Structure 1
Amino acid sequence: MTSSHSKAPNKAPSKAHDKTKSGVGTADWWRGAVIYQVYPRSFQDTNGDGIGDLKGVAEKLPYIASLGVDAIWLSPFFTSPMADMGYDVSDYCDVDPMFGTLADFDAMMAEAHRLGLKIIIDQVLSHTSDQHPWFKESRSSRDNPKADWFVWAEAKPDGTAPTNWLSVFGGPAWEWDGVRKQYYMHNFLASQPDLNFHNAEVRDALLKAVRFWLERGVDGFRLDTVNYYFHDEKLRDNPPHAPDSDDAGLDAPDVNPYGMQNHLYDKTRPENVEFLKSFRALLDEYPDRTSVGEVGDGARSLKTVAAYTAGGDKLHMCYTFDLLGPDFTPSHIRRCVEDFFRSVTDGWVCWAFSNHDVTRHASRFAQSEAERAKVAKLAISVLATLRGSICLYQGEELGLPEAELAFEDLRDPYGIRFWPAFKGRDGCRTPMPWRGEMANAGFTTASKPWLPVPTEHAALAVDVQDGQQASVLEHYRAMLAFRKTHGALIDGDMQFLDAGDDVLAFIRANGEERLLFAFNMGRKAHKVALPAAVSVKQVLDLPGHGGTVEKKSLHLAPLDGFCAIL
């Protein structure tokens, strides 16, 4: 085992290890924070309609707090026709009735704050629903007050679309409108028209909506598709995606020709940086707020993240899709972390293995059903010890695998469009299983929830695992508690060590605290020699792992871990 001298360059002053109750009152509470993503439709139903709601979130807040997380990220709950499950907003400043009311939101947030939990909400600013009053007015004529609030363009002389831009959800990124006799742009569904960020009135209106939630007391924002805000005003065609080049492919399954273009002109435009400065200036009017941006920019993602987080006057942190794929190996994780901190010199990262858009990682990473629980435990052990903030997705703390759904059960427009080549995102969005012996695992009293609850999920329900020392759930709690007790894990430096193909080894350091970690991500035992300069002072009890040290060698069982003070 040798050192690669890959010390992270962007060390920031640390208050994080002195935090209490999720850092309430500390401006940098988000640095090294653990964020738990709640998908409200699938969390807890309290009114028996088969769909989760905000009262259900409030009811389960003590459970979330028991995990040891710092904040909750709520996926969209705004008024919406739900063509894309709430990511098509028709009112930025209200709660959709299926989720409850603004009073329900306020009550939920007050209870979260009482429990020491921060609230981060999704902001879908790049596009609205076609049912939003802004779009209804915009499409009514070419000379109304909001005529230029969306991206409209003339057809080519032959009637085809203005550019060759493609939609992430399939087909052209342009839809013909018979009233205006023009095309409008949509990066996603045709019912999700893109706002025209070149219009100052649009930018002001969106920031006003953000202020609405700041005034209600939210602690931060997750910015959906943050690099999609601006388009090229000259409407230039995208060139083809060149293999092995530094252009932007698709951070999604390759069933869609979207990845065949280099997306130079339909997203990640330079004007976006100035808007993010305006966004940050608004947040800075309120104490202790944060922001995390979702960046999907293919091979250019890290350059985009660097631009969006540099200087302390734009986003606080971003995440990419780097760890959301099938690769769970030491070389891949090391490369992602080293590349991030090499490219992003003064920004911050939020790592995740799962979210509402990708196959659950218990299924992606495990090589068999029998090893899913062990892989789930190893995954959180690795994630909780990386440099950066981390995001957990509801149900991963139970080791839930991806649900296998029949076509007739699908609700995801992306999955329906590309079935059977791509099964969509519904498999990771099925309801949270709370009580294994109850109908629908305690999620709802309705006879049929909006998505089915798999039998194998009910067997992994919260009440089945709660208090069981060997369970995935208790391992998550133990690892997050371990993370909080070591300042080096909150925002300390990170230095990787060479330890062979199957072993991920690194040192986390903050002040006088230096911790050695080693994780055997392979399926056979390994003996790893320590570098001469590395001297173990004390072996720590790393929850759920049994690695040992003898003289200058580490002994690791398959899918095992080790920690020691240096």
Structure 2
Amino acid sequence: MALQTGGNADWWRGAVIYQVYPRSFQDTNGDGLGDLKGITRRLSHIASLGVDAIWLSPFFKSPMADMGYDVSDYCDVDPIFGTLDDFDAMMAEAHRLGIKVIIDQVISHTSDRHPWFVESRSSRTNDKADWYVWADPKPDGTAPNNWLSIFGGPGWEWDGVRRQYYQHNFLTSQPDLNFHSKPVQDALLKTVKFWLDRGVDGFRLDTVNYYFCDKQLRDNPPHVPDPDQAGLDAPDSNPYGMQNHLYDKTQPENLEFLRRFRALLDQYEERTTVGEVGDGARSLKTVAAYTTGGDKLHMCYTFDLLGPEFTAAHIRGCVETFQRMVKDGWVCWAFSNHDVNRHVSRFALTEEERPIIAKLAISVLAALRGSICLYQGEELGLPEAELAFEDLRDPYGIRFWPAFKGRDGCRTPMPWEAGKAHAGFTSAEKSWLPVPYEQAALSVDTQENDDSSVLHHYRRTLEFRKTHPVLIDGSMEFVGSNQDLLAFVREKGDEKLLFVFNLTREAAEFQLPAGMALGAPLPMPGFKAAAGAKTVQLDALDAFCARIS
């Protein structure tokens, strides 16, 4: 184990992180599923984007009831993805290319096949009897309280052996661990140390605010909808959003566990954490609590920008709220990930508009203060896939079909080569999810040969971000606008840059505030907005950047 020696411990601040969904990235053994060797094979593509790190969705041993988010062994690779040797080889190649490796830690719950749960459910007196959240039924046999599962139905499942209910925030096969038990915390931190000693650079912490529940198991009160937070609630088809989740997550005891987690990481060089916070309208308050003080998480991301809105008012509101509430913490912004519809489909009004929106969105993201996450395929401008019910694999989508179509549409395989079956993802007769024609047409090899493609725009935009240190960790202050424009100033040292984004479908004119003088415009990749002495002329879905004084 290497102790910190004063290296670049803050490499994560302002970093660009590329999320890889392993089962959909590249198959090398012809079974229709992506694997670790496939990631190694395609790391050169990721490196060509100019990112700082990759985040790998789970590859641990699992029954795959929830695509690997139901872990049965935290310290081994599931055979469908390969072996620990394959992981080591992948990580070595990533490091050779200058790419850090962040892995998903799903520790709020395990699979019901995990040996810990098998032992825990066997009796009320075994050594792990209290490692999960068990509770007696009410006198009438019903569940201990009114908590719900995100995946539908009650958040409790009856076990006939123990004659008790166990809590599950997700599938019934994903029982929640009891973080009030110190041995549970110790065991989980031991698995984290396993990967630290193996050389991983950080952890993405799945559902990080779900670790603790209320010791008294009190009922959640009803949720009173807030019209200003409509995009942050669960889908209307899911009753989970009808409760105010005061007691089944986001408990104060979590702060001390996060301090324990951070203390372990701080024994190693240049490690980081990024937590996923799903807490509705309270998400940013939770981020503030989890990232301030320098003794808990390094950064968090929320679902604030993962909804349907792509407007100046919405983005400004999210960023300003974060800046107001989180003084010394850090945020990681994203428009897409493996749990939401791809943002090109959410933001674009027409099919023809998709590549324009894809280019504008990464330009906005790259200019924000914070680290940023990219989701595999967004650098190609991939739209959400429309799948038939019989093709679905996501238990969430199957449960709520047809009101909600689930997450498979954003998890379809990467299209590498347009002329090959399954767009070069697999040589198998059938891929685990189909590759739609409209995605295959946007393949990597096709875009490599088109200088105006979304792929080349991503590379140029990330290079633009990297060549201006002010965009990595400089301050950010919004500027008032005479129109519906997103305008802000990034400043660090002697560099002071004005950004103006027109996210509307009409041309607009930005008037410089009194006392602001434009200097030399900077050529933002893909945009040609023109400036006068006191105004900036922007076309629809356009952007502008210049030095100011």
Q: TM-score w.r.t. structure 1 length?
A: 0.95
2:89 corresponds to which of 107, 114, 136: 107
Matches within 5 A, 1:485-524: 485-524=467-506
* Residue in 2 that maps onto 1:389: 371
* Residue in 1 that maps onto 2:455: 473
Q: Distance in 2 between matches of 1:500 and 1:382?
A: 19
Quote the offset at 1:246 in angstroms: 11
CA offsets, 1:500-530, max 9 Å, x none? Answer: 4431111100011001111111111112211
The answer to whether the 8 A contact 1:293-1:318 is kept is: yes
1:538 corresponds to which of 510, 520, 527: 520
Consecutive unaligned residues in structure 1, runs of 5 or more: 1-23
**Gap change, CA 1:52 and 1:562, over 3 Å in 2:** same
* Residue in 1 that maps onto 2:399: 417
* Residue in 1 that maps onto 2:263: 281
Quote the offset at 1:251 in angstroms: 4.3
Matches within 5 A, 1:350-389: 350-389=332-371
* Residue in 2 that maps onto 1:78: 60
The answer to whether the 8 A contact 1:330-1:501 is kept is: no
Q: Distance in 2 between matches of 1:397 and 1:307?
A: 33
SS of 2:518's equivalent? coil
The answer to whether the 8 A contact 2:334-2:365 is kept is: yes
* Residue in 2 that maps onto 1:17: none
* Residue in 1 that maps onto 2:28: 46
2:69 corresponds to which of 63, 75, 87: 87
SS of 2:399's equivalent? helix
2:142 matches 1:142: no
Over aligned residues, Cα RMSD in angstroms?
1.3
**Gap change, CA 1:132 and 1:250, over 3 Å in 2:** farther
SS of 1:81's equivalent? coil
1:557 corresponds to which of 534, 539, 546: 539
Quote the offset at 1:243 in angstroms: 2.7
SS of 1:509's equivalent? strand
* Residue in 1 that maps onto 2:383: 401
The answer to whether the 8 A contact 1:241-1:247 is kept is: no
Q: TM-score w.r.t. structure 2 length?
A: 0.98
CA offsets, 1:113-132, max 9 Å, x none? Answer: 00000000000010000000
* Residue in 2 that maps onto 1:234: 216
* Residue in 1 that maps onto 2:307: 325
* Residue in 1 that maps onto 2:319: 337
Q: Distance in 2 between matches of 1:209 and 1:154?
A: 30
Matches within 5 A, 1:144-159: 144-159=126-141
Quote the offset at 1:444 in angstroms: 0.2
SS of 1:370's equivalent? coil
Q: Distance in 1 between matches of 2:353 and 2:498?
A: 26
Deviates more, 1:422-431 or 1:495-504: 495-504
Q: Distance in 1 between matches of 2:220 and 2:306?
A: 26
CA offsets, 1:270-298, max 9 Å, x none? Answer: 00000000000000000100000000001
The answer to whether the 8 A contact 2:345-2:383 is kept is: yes
The answer to whether the 8 A contact 1:467-1:474 is kept is: no
The answer to whether the 8 A contact 2:234-2:240 is kept is: no
The answer to whether the 8 A contact 1:33-1:390 is kept is: yes
* Residue in 2 that maps onto 1:15: none
Deviates more, 1:24-33 or 1:370-379: 24-33
Q: Distance in 2 between matches of 1:497 and 1:414?
A: 41
2:19 matches 1:37: yes
Name the aligned partner's letter for residue 330 of structure 1.
Answer: A
The answer to whether the 8 A contact 1:246-1:300 is kept is: no
1:312 corresponds to which of 281, 294, 298: 294
* Residue in 2 that maps onto 1:192: 174
Asked which structure has the greater RCO (Cα within 8 Å, sep 6+), the reply is 1
CA offsets, 1:395-434, max 9 Å, x none? Answer: 0000000000000000000000000000000000000000
Q: Distance in 2 between matches of 1:471 and 1:252?
A: 34
Quote the offset at 1:550 in angstroms: 1.4
1:292 corresponds to which of 262, 266, 274: 274
The answer to whether the 8 A contact 1:412-1:425 is kept is: yes
Q: Distance in 1 between matches of 2:230 and 2:526?
A: 40
* Residue in 1 that maps onto 2:3: none
Quote the offset at 1:242 in angstroms: 1.9
**Gap change, CA 1:411 and 1:500, over 3 Å in 2:** farther
Quote the offset at 1:250 in angstroms: 6.2
SS of 1:233's equivalent? coil
CA offsets, 1:249-286, max 9 Å, x none? Answer: 96432211111111111000000000000000000000
Q: Distance in 1 between matches of 2:141 and 2:290?
A: 37
* Residue in 2 that maps onto 1:19: none
Percent identity of paired positions between Structure 1 and Structure 2: 75
**What is the aligned length?**
543
Name the aligned partner's letter for residue 238 of structure 1.
Answer: N
The answer to whether the 8 A contact 2:483-2:508 is kept is: no
Q: Distance in 1 between matches of 2:324 and 2:502?
A: 25
Q: Distance in 2 between matches of 1:500 and 1:38?
A: 41
CA offsets, 1:302-322, max 9 Å, x none? Answer: 111111011000000001100
The answer to whether the 8 A contact 2:518-2:533 is kept is: no
Moved beyond 4 Å, runs of 4+ = 245-251
* Residue in 2 that maps onto 1:4: none
Q: Distance in 2 between matches of 1:395 and 1:150?
A: 37
Quote the offset at 1:497 in angstroms: 1.1
Name the aligned partner's letter for residue 422 of structure 1.
Answer: F
The answer to whether the 8 A contact 1:247-1:263 is kept is: no
Quote the offset at 1:536 in angstroms: 1.1
Q: Distance in 1 between matches of 2:36 and 2:197?
A: 19
Name the aligned partner's letter for residue 414 of structure 1.
Answer: Y
SS of 1:194's equivalent? coil
1:128 corresponds to which of 93, 110, 115: 110
